[in-house]
Each structure stands twice: as structure tokens, then as C-alpha cells.
Chains A and B, each alone.
Chain A
Amino acid sequence: MKVAVVGMGKMGIVHSCVLHVIPEVEVVGLCEKSRLVRRFVKKIFTKVDIVDDVEKLAGLGLDAVYVTTPIPSHYQIIKAIYTKKVARNVFVEKTLSNSYEEATELCSLARRYGGVNMVGYLRRFYVTFRKAKELLLGGALGELLSFDVHAFSSDFFGMKQETPSSSARGGVLRDLGCHALDLALWYFGDLKIELDSAKSLNSGSQNDILRFRGSSPTGLTGSFQVSWCIEGFRMPEVGISIVGAKGRLEVNDDLVRFSPNRRRESVLYRHDLNDNVPFWLGLPEYYREDVHFVEAVTLATRIEPDFASASKIDKMIAQVEKLGGLNG
């Protein structure tokens, strides 16, 4: 399977490397706008075509393209991949796009051109979040009553002014909060969003702390808290607490705690859930995620989270942005 990666930032490097070790995959093309980065990449990725424009990847006979550029560029790049017939199968790092309108258009393009499409919501590949999904599917909590979700990082903790990279990352909701929304969507289905509060810590155009609520058509309600300015999070963390008729479930990056009513709670850590992978780069989830996509392309089967699911997250983000006045 021939693959190209667009964007040679952190995520582009991670996916290029992981793809290199998956036996069925051959990374044959890379695309990067920065001349400086391209010059270095040429020395490191030998035997790979390196171009400065995604359209130049056409003609490489690609089976799939990974898009790992900043969020605001996703729409134009994916559109070019489909319309210039660069490849039929597309993986894009979260979020699908920079707006719900663009996301909807990308869904239409994906339907028109066929192929497998996937958005890189990594938390779905954490062993803890997978275990929680399994428990929910098995009805361990009974009827779901309420939930609380948080997504915190220290990425911009202590920053006195807004930086260009906070905009390039699409704001806190697209960059970090989207994981909370994706997990909520995965666990609970469609949610209607209402904003509680939105705050910028440096009077910039971006929100840094957001609080909002979600409610499902079945009456399930819950709250979200998102910030990238919280002290003490060396790594970003996403966590969910769910209350059901039969008990309570807490899950985060490291553990799943299940507390059935009137019975002893049980805690499963990453360690208990077979977290090892054939190749580990940064996190084990990248390997699982890439294998998931590669297998789907090989078998030509639809997978989750695809563009259609991911566009729902863009819709929820748009709802918060509309209510909050500032960018995500």
C-alpha cells in the first residue's frame, strides 16, 4: 500500500515513522511547505518523493494520504486530494476542518469520490477509553443519567499574550476540546450544546477556558470543561465521569474506575489492559490508529471515526463558537 504524508510537523513525523514499520505500507511521498524543513527531510527520508504542493503527489499511484497540517488548511488540502485524484483514501488529523460548512463539504466530496476516510481522534485508541466503551455497550451502567467531561493541558499555561500557534492550532476547542466532544459523541450519540462560559486569559481572539453543557434527545445531560492553560498537565488529559442507573464510571487516559451500586468498585489501569504494541512511538495509540486505517483501506471497509462522525464534532464546535463570540 503506497502512502504519502502531508505536513512534516510533529504529527507528520509520528505518522510517517509508524507507517514505515507497518509491513504492508510503503511511504513514497511527503509534502511540506517550509523549504527549510523540506531540505532536512530530504536527507532523512531517502527514497521518498518530497514536494511542496499536495497536487504534486498526483501520479505517485498513492493508495492513501495522511493530512497532518494545521487545522485551517485541512479543507483545501483534502479537496485537492480528491479533486486532483491524488488518492481515494484519506486520513486527516483532528479536527476534520475549521468550520462545519467546510466539514459538510468534505463529507460530500468523500461520498462522491468513495474510498476510506478517517479522522485522527486518538482517544478512541486508548485501552482505557475502549474498555469504558465496552462496559457502556454491555449495559454495565444501565440507563445513563448524566456525565462530566474535561480536557486539560498546560500548553499555553502562563502565556501573557496570544501566540500565532494558538490560532494555527484552531483554538482550544478544536485543538483539545474536540477529544472531549468526540468521546462524548462516541459514548452518548448526538448532543445539543449550550454554552455556560467562555474566557480568554490574555484578551486575545481565542478562548482559553470553556464550560458548556450537552444534552441528548433521550434526556441525558452533561457538562464539559476545556482549557489549555491549566498548570500541572505535562501531557494533555481527557477524562469522563458517567452516572447511570446501575452505578458510576470514571475513565481517563490512565484508568477506568467502575463503581456499581452497592458493590465494590473495580479499577483497571492501562497496565491491566494489554497496552503493548509492535512499535511504540511517543504513545502506543498511534500504532493502533494507523493499523486501523491501513486495514480498512486494504479491506475497503468503512471505519470510525470517519468524516461523517467527525463533522458532527465540527458542528458542536460551531455551536459553542456561535454562542461564545470568540474562536474555539
Chain B
Amino acid sequence: MGKQTDPDYAAGLIGTAVENGANGFLFSVSDITLAILRELKKRDSIDGMALYPIVPYAYEYVRLATQVGGMPGLAKVFAKRLVSSGCFRVMARGLNGVLRANPSSLLKAYLAYELNRVEAAAGKEAEVKSIILHEVVVDVALALKMEWFFREYWSFTVKRSLFPGFNTCNFALLVRQLNDWHFSLDDVVIAAPFNKIGFQMNPTKQACEEALCSLPAPGLVAISVLAGGYLKLPEAVDYIAGLSNVKGVAIGISKEEHARQTFKLINDQLS
């Protein structure tokens, strides 16, 4: 196990980040990140920390699909997980989803299942702000113009007082499509690449910046701000500081010193 995936070490890193101004944790929901949440809870470090889980953990599901024989095999594994969750409502929705081939029921069952896992690990003190849909799901739904999908997801989150959250590599298109469907973007979280060199800002950096300006309120959680290590932190933060409608910035850290420098600088420049 790498150091960063050791829950004890990772919880220490997050603690350092919080001491230096971080106030949220954006993470893919996996056994490792759930163990980190449990460790944070044990240390009483989770109070007031805004949690932004991203689901599904695409890498794990793709790898699993590889090993269990594609989509049908994956569906069986998922069904077993829903059953073993022990939550009657989740099981009922999941069963309904499979028997009636109802994607809407399956979506809700899946979201409830993941939310339960996060809440069970983090405890009642934790503040889950959103349950963010992974880019693979969002961008598929976007390509296919699945308005019903966005509506079902929106109603699921709003009912639970969560922000609708999306992770996407097509920020400009997502904003335009949500506007076309008349969703209110006042209270939304969109985690998307934003960086000085326009890396992964599709179709163009300019289009993404214009879409950001068009939001009625801060809704962007900027990711890939360092463009995968291409940019130095000061220039990366400088660029983000010049943007409007930024709700937050998510940066991966692996060392204590890194956590201290990164969040101190971000806190100084963006707060």
C-alpha cells in the first residue's frame, strides 16, 4: 500500500491541510477513502469539514467489469452490494430497477447506497455537501441529452438538501445544456478542469471561461488547476484568483510540506 492510501497517513495530511485553510474534502468513494473518513472521525477532525464525494469510483468499476465479464457481470456484483448494504429502501429500489429495467430506480438506489456508505463512515457530524456524479456518467448523459437523468438526480439531491454536483470535462457544454433545460444554477457544484494553459478545458479555454462567467452564482470547484503538475502553484492560483464564480479549488496532496504550502497560499490568495 502506498503512503497516501494509508488511512492514518492520509488523515494526517488532511488534518494539515485543514490547519492551513482547507475546509473541504473532494474524493472518489472507495474502500480506501471510506477508511480515511473513519480515521478522520476517530480523530474528531471531521466536524465542520465539507465533504464532496464523487461517485462512481470509475476506475474501480472499469477494473471490476474487466474481471467479472463486462456489464452483466458488473450488474450482478452491484446487485450483491445493494443487498449486503442492509438498507431496505436501497434494496427495494435496486430490485425494482433491475426487474423493471428502470434506470431511474437504479440511479436512486445507487446514489442512496453510496451516500449511506459515506455517512456511515463519516458519522453524523460530517457535512456532506453534495454527491457529485463522476465525469464518465455526466459526460455520457450529456452526450445522449438525457434530460430525465439530470432531473432524477437533481430531485434526489435537492430532497436531501444536497447541492446537485457534477464532475465534467465538458464544462461549457454542461452549463449550456443545463441552461437550455431551465435548471437553476444558483446552487450547484461543478467540478471541472480550470487552469492557466487551458489543459482539459473543452472545447476551448475561452469557451469554459465564458460559461463560468454566465453562472448566476459561484458554482465551480476548479480541478486540475496545476494541469497535472505542468504549472507551478503560484501561477496556477494566480489564474484561479482572477476568475469569477469560483466556489472552491480542489488540489491533490501527498506530503505534509506540500499540504502546508499549498493551502496556505490558496487561503492567502483566494480568501
Query: Residues of A with Cβ closer than 8 Å to B?
Result: 8-10, 13, 16-18, 20-21, 34, 36-37, 39-40, 42-45, 154-156, 159, 163-165, 168-169, 234, 269-271, 275-282, 284
The count of residues in chain B whose C-beta lies closer than 8 Å to any C-beta of chain A is 39
Rounded to whole angstroms, the CA-CA distance of A294 and B233 in the bound complex is 41
Query: Residues of B with Cβ closer than 8 Å to A?
Result: 59, 62-63, 65-73, 75, 98, 101-103, 136, 139-140, 143-146, 169-170, 173, 197-205, 227-228, 230
Q: Are A34 and B71 in contact (CB under 8 A)?
A: yes
Chain A residues with Cβ under 8 A from B136's Cβ?
Answer: 281-282
Q: Are B102 and A279 in contact (CB under 8 A)?
A: no
Q: Are A280 and B169 in contact (CB under 8 A)?
A: yes
Chain B residues with Cβ under 8 A from A10's Cβ?
Answer: 62, 65, 70
Rounded to whole angstroms, the CA-CA distance of A164 and B62 in the bound complex is 16
Q: Are B228 and A271 in contact (CB under 8 A)?
A: yes
Q: Are B66 and A155 in contact (CB under 8 A)?
A: yes
Of the A-B pairs whose beta carbons lie under 8 Å apart in the complex, a sample of 30, sorted by A's number, is: A9-B71, A10-B65, A10-B70, A13-B140, A16-B144, A17-B139, A20-B143, A20-B144, A34-B72, A42-B101, A43-B101, A154-B63, A156-B67, A165-B69, A165-B70, A169-B66, A269-B230, A270-B199, A271-B227, A275-B200, A276-B198, A276-B202, A276-B205, A277-B202, A279-B143, A279-B170, A280-B170, A281-B139, A281-B140, A281-B143
Number of A-B contacts (CB under 8 A): 98
What's the minimum C-beta distance from A163 to chain B, rounded to whole angstroms?
A: 5
Q: Are B143 and A271 in contact (CB under 8 A)?
A: no
Q: Are A164 and B71 in contact (CB under 8 A)?
A: no
Given contacts A21-B143, A276-B203, 14 further A-B contacts (CB under 8 A): A13-B140, A17-B139, A17-B140, A37-B71, A159-B67, A163-B68, A164-B69, A165-B69, A275-B200, A276-B201, A277-B203, A279-B143, A281-B169, A282-B136
What's the minimum C-beta distance from B254 to chain A, rounded to whole angstroms?
A: 14
Q: Tell me which of A18, A44, A163, A284 contacts B67 (CB under 8 A).
A: A163
Q: Nearest 3 A-B pairs (CB), nearest first?
A: A39-B101, A17-B143, A280-B169
Whether A44 contacts B203 in the complex (CB less than 8 A), given A37-B71, A165-B68, comes out as no
Chain A residues with Cβ under 8 A from B101's Cβ?
Answer: 36, 39-40, 42-43
Chain A residues with Cβ under 8 A from B72's Cβ?
Answer: 34, 36-37
Rounded to whole angstroms, the CA-CA distance of A34 and B63 in the bound complex is 20
What's the minimum C-beta distance from A186 to chain B, rounded to whole angstroms?
A: 26
Q: Tell me which of A9, A34, A40, A270 contacts B103 (CB under 8 A).
A: A40
Chain B residues with Cβ under 8 A from A40's Cβ?
Answer: 101, 103
Chain A residues with Cβ under 8 A from B228's Cβ?
Answer: 271
Rounded to whole angstroms, the CA-CA distance of A9 and B71 in the bound complex is 6
